[in-house]
Structure formats: structure tokens, C-alpha cells
Amino acid sequence: MISCEINGRAVTAADLSSEAERAKVAAIIGDTAQRIRSLFDDDEWSQIHVKLTGSSTDDLTMNVSGPDYLVERVYEGLGESA
């Protein structure tokens, strides 16, 4: 599951008033979900939660929770460190 929080408030693309911001959030969430989803089968995917947080769409940090071995696989698959 992917969620996005901006300035402490959970948001979806539909929550934003600017068309540009809606498109940006939709693209970020969609790209992140696609990249991470491809690493797992259905059971593993159901155990992962990805939260994008920041003060704006230009300043988002990815936080991953779930079983340690799956979290490690997310970061390895994206070429990032936990």
C-alpha cells in the first residue's frame, strides 16, 4: 500500500486544488507503486506499507514498513539505502 502525507495531512491526487500538483502526486504515487510492486508477489505486497511524507510534493521522503526482509528488498530493488 502506498500513502502520501503533505504537511501532516494524508492526501491523494484528488485532494489537491492545482491540476499540476494533482498530476505530480498521481505520477509520484503511481511510479513508486509500480517500481515497488514489481519486486513482490501478492502476499508479500500485502505486507508492505510505503508512506511518502514531506512539506510539499518537491520534498517527499519514502518510509517503508513491514517485515524487515521485505523492507530491505524494497530499498535494494530501488538502489537506495534504508
* Phi and psi based region of residue 60 (left: phi greater than 0; alpha: psi -120 to 50; beta: remaining): beta
Which domain, by its residues, includes 27?
Answer: 2-78
pTM listed for this prediction = 0.75
Task: For residues 37 and 67, give the distance between their C-alpha atoms in angstroms, rounded to a whole number.
Answer: 15
| pLDDT per position as a tens digit, 20-77 | 888 888 898 889 889 999 999 999 999 999 999 988 888 889 999 999 999 999 999 8
- Number of domains, the chain: 1
Q: Can you point out the beta strands (E) in the chain?
A: 2-6, 9-11, 49-54, 60-65
| Three-state DSSP state, 10 | strand
CB 4 within 8 A of CB 10: yes
Cell numbers given for 38: 514489481
